[in-house]
Amino acid sequence: MSARITLTDEQVLAVLGSIEPEELPEIGPDWPRQWSLQIGRTVQTLRKARRMSARALSERCAEVGFPIPQSTITNLENGRKESVPVHEAAVLSTALGVPLFVLIGADS
C-alpha cells in the first residue's frame, strides 16, 4: 500500500493556481481530445504536488473502487489518450482528493 500524502485546502489551491488555465474547449469534432489533454495536465500537476508516482495513483484509484492501470494514467498525462470516460475522471478526482470540476480546469 502506498503512503498517503494529504494536502491542506490552501496547498491544493496553491497547486491549482500554478496550472495555466486553458480556455474550455468548444464543442466540436476535437472536443473529447481537448478535454483529455486538459484533464491529463491537471492530473499530472496534482499527482506531482502530492509526490505520488503514477503507480501510487493507480493503486489509490483501486482503493477508492475502480482500478485505473498505471499505463492509462501515463498515457493520459502524456497526451496519448484520445478521450476520458466520465467514470475514470470521477475516480481520478476522488483519488486525488479534488472535486471533479477541478480536473477540467473549470471554476466552481
- CATH number for the domain formed by residue range(s) 30-103: 1.10.260.40
User: For the chain, what are the domain ranges?
Assistant: 30-103
Query: How much is the pLDDT for 29?
Result: 77
Instruction: Tell me how crowded residue 7 is: count the other CB atoms within 10 A of its CB.
Output: 16
What residues in the chain have per-residue pLDDT under 50? 1-3, 108
- Spatial contact of 60 and 95, defined as CB atoms under 8 Å apart: yes
CA–CA distance from 64 to each of 5, 76, 95 (Å)?
15, 19, 7
Entry pTM? 0.75
